[in-house]
Chain A
């Protein structure tokens, strides 16, 4: 085994994912380059990857969120941008982890709608979602429907 010397120590990397009809990753990229002071910014098909000191990355993300707050999503990343262990340029195919993000992109429009709606609706009047830990009884109508589906 060889020694491992880490790079970009003390920095954070964050994904900025855009799911919007009005904003493209290129728009975000231009804005991020305008306001960045020493952070590394990489534009991708789904948004940006930003690497730098935590305060600087957070400042850039706070500014970017203002463009379209309900359609811009942010998460942490372990690896810096372009890391040969993860970058698809070296590996071929989609980056490991992209599939999870791609899966969540199908749900994000509902979340964006939720974020927009709770600004105008009283949050106390919104009913709670279905509790996964409650196992309700099977309704007779549902049972009949299942039987009919099996028989046909």
Chain B
């Protein structure tokens, strides 16, 4: 069972397919859950404390905006832990503010720098593309081995 980083990290479809074919999806929900369930100082709504941008310095330089570094404190450890990655390109739902956009670029850069199996896709726009999409993901995940 491999740890598979998914991008967009909030994707329902990728999260489901990775878990369905016996692997562990690394998504933003699991990173947020860690913070929500850890005691500390109250910092609503996401329990992102002023310490997070400091932790993000591991992946982004000090002159990079705190918003990017704070986000990287969620995704950076996941990118380091992942053994494979599935990236959906040009996903409409990955749209966001400049902090999100720059973080997204950095996430994709770091994943592509890492020497791990990677699958790049677009969202399907027809039924036939849906078949190709699911088949490509299944082939990729089966190739990782260690199915439950």
Contacts and interface: CB of A to CB of B under 8 A. Distances in A.
Interface string B121-148: 1111111011111111011000000000
Contacts of A5: 39
A82 interface: no
A129 B13 contact: no
A9 B34 CA distance: 9
Interface stretch (B42-50, B52-60, B61-69, B76-84): B42-50
A114 B131 CA distance: 4
Contact of A129 (B12, B45, B124): B124
A73 B47 CA distance: 27
* Residue among A9, A100, A101 having the largest count of chain B Cβ atoms under 10 Å: A100
Contacts of B16: 73-75
Interface stretch (A25-33, A37-45, A118-126, A140-148): A118-126
Most B C-beta atoms less than 10 A away, residue of A1, A10, A76, A128: A76
A99 interface: yes
Contacts of A129: 121-122, 124, 129, 132-133, 136
A55 interface: no
A16 B74 CA distance: 24
Interface of A: 1-6, 8-13, 15, 17, 73-79, 83, 85-86, 97, 99-101, 103-104, 107-115, 117-118, 121, 123, 126-133
